[in-house]
Structure 1
Amino acid sequence: MRTILNVIWLVFAGFWLAVGYVVAGIICCILIITIPFGIASFRIAAYALWPFGRTVIRDPQAGIMSTVGNVIWFIFAGLWLAIGHVLTSIPLFVSIIGIPLGVANLKMVPISLLPLGARIVDADDPYAIPR
């Protein structure tokens, strides 16, 4: 079922969402000082391509610099990206077929809000998710 949902997601939303994050990542990497944000954008782009069966966890080893980076990201990009994900999930929830896609769009809110210090792992990996 995950594969079917991922293919539907990829066709209708994931590809263009990933392209947007890749373009943002390239711009961030060109600006040198924002390379950590570019790497985070590439990580989010990979997650946007294939979100079903994967989840986001916070890395307990992340230090103070990821917190500072997340504050900067939140101010300049994170809040707007999160609002965009919420707003684009609303039309998906209107149709019954789009409900899983709306849920996937809402799953992207935490990582688009605070991407630094987060890891994307397989939901089936029992060792990746802290309990």
Structure 2
Amino acid sequence: MIRLILNILWFIFGGWLSGLLWLLGGAILALTIVGLPWTFAAWRIASYSFWPFGREVIWRDELGEQDAGTGPLGLVLNIIWFIFAGWYIALSHLLIAVAEFITIIGIPFALKDLELAKLALAPIGRTIRDKP
């Protein structure tokens, strides 16, 4: 029940905007053709941005999945992402988290924004799952 309440509050106070911006970013990446490798990562982050409580971000190799995102290609894609997009998207989530930490009630939301900042730094090779 608490997860539902936190997700509703998250969605009302900015989760919808964050999710829509990630969806838009993914759509723009898809249009460029060159950005296709990052499109689905952006859309995964969007789904997490809309409804983060009760879910967690993990590396795919923790699930035993081996794909292009977990090997050397994934590393190269994450480095390119970091240079052109990841650092300033992560910085925006970090600044929002600092503002949320100032209020005691905003601490759970700040922790989720810190997770989003970490995810924004290197999204390739990660997946989102429901917490056990």
Deviation at 1:69, TM superposition (A): 0.4
**Alignment match of 1:93 (pick from 95, 101, 105):** 101
Q: 1:119 & 1:22 partners in 2: Cα distance?
A: 16
For residue 130 of structure 2, what is the aligned residue in structure 1?
122
For residue 5 of structure 1, what is the aligned residue in structure 2?
6
For residue 30 of structure 1, what is the aligned residue in structure 2?
31
- TM-score of the pair, normalised by structure 1: 0.91
Q: 1:17 & 1:34 partners in 2: Cα distance?
A: 20
Q: 2:71 & 2:110 partners in 1: Cα distance?
A: 32
Q: 1:4 & 1:77 partners in 2: Cα distance?
A: 32
Match runs of 1:35-114 below 5 Å: 35-60=36-61, 61=66, 62-114=70-122
Q: 2:119 & 2:98 partners in 1: Cα distance?
A: 19
Deviation at 1:97, TM superposition (A): 1.7
- The 4+ residue runs of structure 1 with deviation greater than 2 A are none
% identical aligned pairs: 40
For residue 127 of structure 1, what is the aligned residue in structure 2?
none
Q: Determine if the alignment matches structure 1 residue 18 to structure 2 residue 26.
A: no
How large is the RMSD of aligned CA atoms in angstroms? 0.9
Write out per-residue CA displacement over residues 86-130 of structure 1, whole angstroms, 9 at most, x where no aligned residue: 111111111122111111111112211100000111111xxxxxx
Deviation at 1:36, TM superposition (A): 1.5
Q: 1:98 & 1:57 partners in 2: Cα distance?
A: 24
* Contiguous gaps of at least 5 residues in structure 1: 125-131
Code of the residue aligned with 1:52 in structure 2: it is: F
Q: 2:42 & 2:28 partners in 1: Cα distance?
A: 10
Q: 2:3 & 2:25 partners in 1: Cα distance?
A: 28
Going by fraction, where is helix more abundant, 1 or 2? Answer: 2
Q: 2:125 & 2:111 partners in 1: Cα distance?
A: 23
Deviation at 1:35, TM superposition (A): 0.8
